[in-house]
Amino acid sequence: MSDVIPHISCVKNLFVKQMLFRKAGDKEYGHAHCHDHLTLLTKGKLKITALGKDTDFDAPAHIYIKADVVHELTALEDDTIAHCIHALRNEDGSGDILDPTSIPDGITPPHEPLTRTWP
């Protein structure tokens, strides 16, 4: 197994993370997002593990992941490619994703940010 090769782009309110799984068995380890999102599987096969259940998907596929659900992606074929796609903010403009340590004292964001602590 090897690490997934990511490529990330953000345009306006759209986040896209492309993930290249070079070998079958490569994993994007368990994680959760603060937003509902889609994983767009464009090539190969993935096993999605969420809520203790495994589901296999063949490309092309749109895979729905609910907010705050820990999920793991495992390639079932070499050279599998998937894209994590989600908004960066909610419709009302709230939901900016900020590391709390990046907000200077005295600065109040326009909306309550969805804060996550990074290692």
pLDDT digits (tens, 9 = 90+) for 59-106: 999 999 998 999 999 999 999 999 999 887 666 665 665 666 667 788
Under the banding of pLDDT at 50, 70 and 90, the label for residue 117 is very low
Secondary structure of residue 12 in the 3-state scheme: coil
Secondary structure of residue 112 in the 3-state scheme: coil
Q: Which two tokens stand for residue 38?
A: 């889609």
Residue 80's pLDDT is what? 98
Q: What is the pTM of this model?
A: 0.74
pLDDT digits (tens, 9 = 90+) for 16-27: 889 999 999 999
- The one-letter amino acid at 29: Y
d(CA 104, CA 20): 36
Residue 77's pLDDT is what? 98
- What is the arithmetic mean of pLDDT over 49-61? 96
